[in-house]
């Protein structure tokens, strides 16, 4: 079939809409809907975290047996943990969409060593929605990457890095930003480095 014939009838066939274009078309609706979805997802996440915490307490109260505790904690991680990860990915996606419709420019430009350094220096604790308690050169709080009831998430202020002794996750400011906003290394550096680029 003649290509011109097709393109007359399917004017958009070669034009893949970007996320920004789609959102622009629905900007007014999206500006109302997305924050509502985010708060709904945040509530759902809170409930799930509470449920997991309660279940862990219950497992520990039920038996002193390490194998019993291990088995049921693993079962929890596989089931509820999966739901939690899916929820967090969804939340990150919605936050990203919101920043697109808020007109925040998609970061562009080349990465320089200076930008990467500046991004790594961005105080990691300011990126995390965690209430910390200070203990010497460290901050201690509840891990933002897994559900827990007693704090095992540490920020090492001298290194500007964080590690969770519960889930063994280690992040610096760039990887924390990537994880929380669902973006890649470059976008994280450009966002964190601000004017340094």
Q: DSSP label at 194?
A: G
Interface stretch with Zn ion, choices 21-29, 43-51, 101-109, 164-172 (CB under 5 A) = 164-172
Q: Is 167 in the site for Zn ion (CB under 5 A)?
A: yes
Rounded to a whole number of angstroms, the minimum distance from the CB of residue 68 to Zn ion is: 22
Residue 145 lies near Zn ion (rule: CB under 5 A): yes
> CA-to-CA distance for 162 and 120, rounded, in angstroms?
12
Handedness of CA 33, 39, 45, 47 (dihedral sign): negative
Select from 11-19, 70-78, 98-106, 140-148 the region that touches Zn ion (CB under 5 A).
140-148
- Kindly tell me which of 71 and 165 has the beta carbon lying closer to Zn ion: 165
Distance (Å, rounded) from C-alpha 59 to C-alpha 187?
41
Q: Yes or no: say if 195 and 117 are a contact pair by the CB < 8 Å rule.
A: no
CA 52 to chain CA mean position, Å? 19
Nearer to Zn ion by C-beta: 140 or 196?
Answer: 140
The only residue of 94, 95, 120, 146 in contact with Zn ion, by rule CB under 5 A: 146
Give me the residues that bind Zn ion (CB under 5 A), please.
143, 145-146, 164, 166-167
């Amino acid at each position: 079939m003649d290509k011109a014939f097709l393109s007359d009838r399917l004017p958009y066939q070669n034009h893949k809409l970007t996320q920004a274009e789609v959102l622009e078309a629905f900007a007014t609706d999206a500006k109302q809907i997305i924050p509502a979805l985010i708060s709904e997802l945040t509530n759902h996440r809170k409930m799930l975290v509470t449920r997991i915490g309660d279940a862990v307490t219950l497992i520990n109260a039920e038996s002193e047996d390490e194998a019993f505790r291990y088995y049921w904690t693993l079962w929890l991680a596989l089931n509820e943990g999966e739901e939690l990860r899916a929820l967090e990915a969804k939340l990150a996606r919605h936050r990203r969409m919101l920043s697109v419709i808020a007109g925040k420019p998609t970061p562009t430009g080349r990465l320089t060593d200076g930008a990467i350094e500046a991004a790594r220096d961005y105080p990691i604790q300011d990126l995390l929605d965690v209430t910390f308690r200070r203990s010497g050169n460290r901050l201690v709080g509840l891990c933002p990457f897994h559900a827990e009831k007693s704090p095992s998430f540490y920020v090492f202020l001298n290194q500007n890095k964080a590690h969770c002794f519960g889930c063994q996750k280690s992040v610096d400011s760039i990887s924390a930003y990537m994880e929380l906003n669902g973006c890649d290394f470059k976008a994280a550096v450009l966002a964190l480095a601000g004017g340094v680029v």
